[in-house]
Protein backbone atom coordinates (compact mmCIF):
# COMPACT_ATOMS: atom_id res chain seq x y z
CA UNK A 1 0.00 0.00 0.00
CA UNK A 2 1.32 3.45 -0.89
CA UNK A 3 1.89 6.12 1.72
CA UNK A 4 -0.99 8.14 0.25
CA UNK A 5 -3.36 5.16 0.41
CA UNK A 6 -2.37 4.52 4.03
CA UNK A 7 -3.10 8.15 4.93
CA UNK A 8 -6.54 8.09 3.31
CA UNK A 9 -7.70 4.67 4.42
CA UNK A 10 -7.07 4.87 8.15
CA UNK A 11 -4.74 1.90 7.74
CA UNK A 12 -2.28 3.14 10.38
CA UNK A 13 -5.06 3.40 12.95
CA UNK A 14 -6.42 -0.01 11.98
CA UNK A 15 -2.94 -1.54 12.13
CA UNK A 16 -2.27 0.04 15.54
CA UNK A 17 -5.59 -1.17 16.94
CA UNK A 18 -4.96 -4.68 15.61
CA UNK A 19 -1.45 -4.72 17.09
CA UNK A 20 -2.77 -3.58 20.48
CA UNK A 21 -5.53 -6.21 20.38
CA UNK A 22 -3.04 -8.98 19.51
CA UNK A 23 -0.77 -7.90 22.37
CA UNK A 24 -3.72 -7.69 24.79
CA UNK A 25 -4.91 -11.14 23.70
CA UNK A 26 -1.47 -12.61 24.38
CA UNK A 27 -1.27 -10.84 27.74
CA UNK A 28 -4.72 -12.18 28.73
CA UNK A 29 -3.35 -15.71 28.29
CA UNK A 30 -1.64 -15.22 31.66
CA UNK A 31 -5.10 -15.66 33.21
CA UNK A 32 -6.05 -19.31 32.54
CA UNK A 33 -9.07 -19.48 30.24
CA UNK A 34 -9.26 -15.73 29.70
CA UNK A 35 -9.76 -14.11 26.31
CA UNK A 36 -10.47 -10.50 25.44
CA UNK A 37 -14.15 -11.22 24.67
CA UNK A 38 -14.53 -13.16 27.94
CA UNK A 39 -12.92 -10.28 29.81
CA UNK A 40 -15.28 -7.81 28.13
CA UNK A 41 -18.26 -10.05 28.97
CA UNK A 42 -17.29 -10.40 32.63
CA UNK A 43 -16.64 -6.66 32.87
CA UNK A 44 -20.01 -5.87 31.26
CA UNK A 45 -21.77 -8.29 33.61
CA UNK A 46 -20.04 -6.73 36.62
CA UNK A 47 -20.87 -3.20 35.47
CA UNK A 48 -24.47 -3.92 34.47
CA UNK A 49 -25.91 -7.04 36.11
CA UNK A 50 -28.89 -8.53 34.32
CA UNK A 51 -27.79 -7.78 30.75
CA UNK A 52 -29.55 -9.77 28.07
CA UNK A 53 -27.59 -12.06 25.79
CA UNK A 54 -27.96 -9.51 22.96
CA UNK A 55 -26.65 -6.71 25.21
CA UNK A 56 -23.69 -8.87 26.26
CA UNK A 57 -22.99 -9.65 22.60
CA UNK A 58 -22.96 -5.94 21.77
CA UNK A 59 -20.65 -5.19 24.72
CA UNK A 60 -18.24 -7.90 23.56
CA UNK A 61 -18.39 -7.07 19.89
CA UNK A 62 -19.52 -10.57 18.93
CA UNK A 63 -22.74 -12.22 17.76
CA UNK A 64 -25.38 -13.54 20.21
CA UNK A 65 -24.50 -17.07 19.02
CA UNK A 66 -20.84 -16.52 19.88
CA UNK A 67 -21.88 -15.02 23.21
CA UNK A 68 -23.96 -18.12 23.99
CA UNK A 69 -20.94 -20.33 23.32
CA UNK A 70 -18.73 -18.01 25.38
CA UNK A 71 -21.20 -18.13 28.31
CA UNK A 72 -21.22 -21.94 28.08
CA UNK A 73 -17.42 -21.97 28.31
CA UNK A 74 -17.38 -19.54 31.22
CA UNK A 75 -20.00 -21.64 33.03
CA UNK A 76 -17.75 -24.70 32.59
CA UNK A 77 -14.87 -22.70 34.11
CA UNK A 78 -17.12 -21.83 37.05
CA UNK A 79 -16.93 -18.10 36.28
CA UNK A 80 -20.67 -17.64 35.82
CA UNK A 81 -23.86 -19.32 36.95
CA UNK A 82 -26.71 -19.54 34.47
CA UNK A 83 -30.35 -19.77 35.41
CA UNK A 84 -33.74 -19.53 33.79
CA UNK A 85 -35.66 -16.32 34.44
CA UNK A 86 -39.40 -16.52 34.73
CA UNK A 87 -41.38 -14.12 32.65
CA UNK A 88 -41.79 -13.63 28.97
CA UNK A 89 -40.37 -16.55 27.05
CA UNK A 90 -37.45 -18.75 27.94
CA UNK A 91 -34.81 -16.31 29.16
CA UNK A 92 -31.43 -17.44 30.45
CA UNK A 93 -29.64 -15.06 32.79
CA UNK A 94 -26.06 -15.13 33.96
CA UNK A 95 -24.44 -14.13 37.22
CA UNK A 96 -20.73 -13.86 37.97
CA UNK A 97 -19.49 -16.28 40.62
CA UNK A 98 -16.74 -15.64 43.15
CA UNK A 99 -14.35 -17.58 40.91
CA UNK A 100 -15.43 -15.39 38.00
CA UNK A 101 -14.81 -12.25 40.03
CA UNK A 102 -11.28 -13.46 40.81
CA UNK A 103 -10.67 -14.13 37.10
CA UNK A 104 -12.06 -10.68 36.27
CA UNK A 105 -9.78 -9.02 38.83
CA UNK A 106 -6.73 -10.80 37.38
CA UNK A 107 -7.75 -9.82 33.84
CA UNK A 108 -8.33 -6.20 34.92
CA UNK A 109 -4.75 -6.05 36.14
CA UNK A 110 -3.55 -7.29 32.74
CA UNK A 111 -5.77 -4.77 30.93
CA UNK A 112 -4.62 -1.95 33.22
CA UNK A 113 -0.98 -2.81 32.51
CA UNK A 114 -1.65 -2.77 28.77
CA UNK A 115 -3.51 0.54 29.06
CA UNK A 116 -0.54 1.99 30.93
CA UNK A 117 1.82 0.81 28.19
CA UNK A 118 -0.42 2.54 25.66
CA UNK A 119 -0.43 5.74 27.70
CA UNK A 120 3.35 5.59 28.02
CA UNK A 121 3.68 5.29 24.23
CA UNK A 122 2.11 8.68 23.48
CA UNK A 123 1.64 11.82 25.50
CA UNK A 124 -1.69 11.27 27.23
CA UNK A 125 -3.25 14.51 26.09
CA UNK A 126 -2.50 13.81 22.43
CA UNK A 127 -3.40 10.11 22.41
CA UNK A 128 -6.65 10.31 24.32
CA UNK A 129 -7.81 13.45 22.52
CA UNK A 130 -7.32 11.79 19.13
CA UNK A 131 -8.99 8.54 20.22
CA UNK A 132 -11.88 10.43 21.78
CA UNK A 133 -12.43 12.46 18.62
CA UNK A 134 -12.35 9.36 16.43
CA UNK A 135 -14.83 7.59 18.71
CA UNK A 136 -17.21 10.55 18.62
CA UNK A 137 -16.94 10.99 14.87
CA UNK A 138 -17.19 7.35 13.85
CA UNK A 139 -18.94 5.79 16.83
CA UNK A 140 -22.39 4.35 16.56
CA UNK A 141 -25.24 6.52 17.71
Residue among 79, 81, 71 at smallest CA distance from 100: 79
The predicted-structure confidence for 38-78, as pLDDT tens digits, reads as follows 999 999 999 998 888 888 898 888 899 999 999 999 999 99
The verdict on residue 4 lying in a domain is no
- Mind listing the pLDDT tens digit for each residue in 76-122? 999 999 877 676 666 677 899 999 999 999 999 999 999 888 878 87
Assign residue 76 the CATH number of its domain. Answer: 1.10.10.10
What's this model's pTM, rounded to 2 decimal places? 0.79
Contact 58, 66 (CB under 8 A): no
Which residues constitute the domain of residue 59? 12-138
Domain count, the chain: 1
Does residue 89 lie in a domain region? yes
Amino acid sequence: MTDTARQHSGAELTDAAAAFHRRLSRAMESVPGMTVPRYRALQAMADRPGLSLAELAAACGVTPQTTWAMMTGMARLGWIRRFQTKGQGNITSQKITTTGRHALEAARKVADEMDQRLRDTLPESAAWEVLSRISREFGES
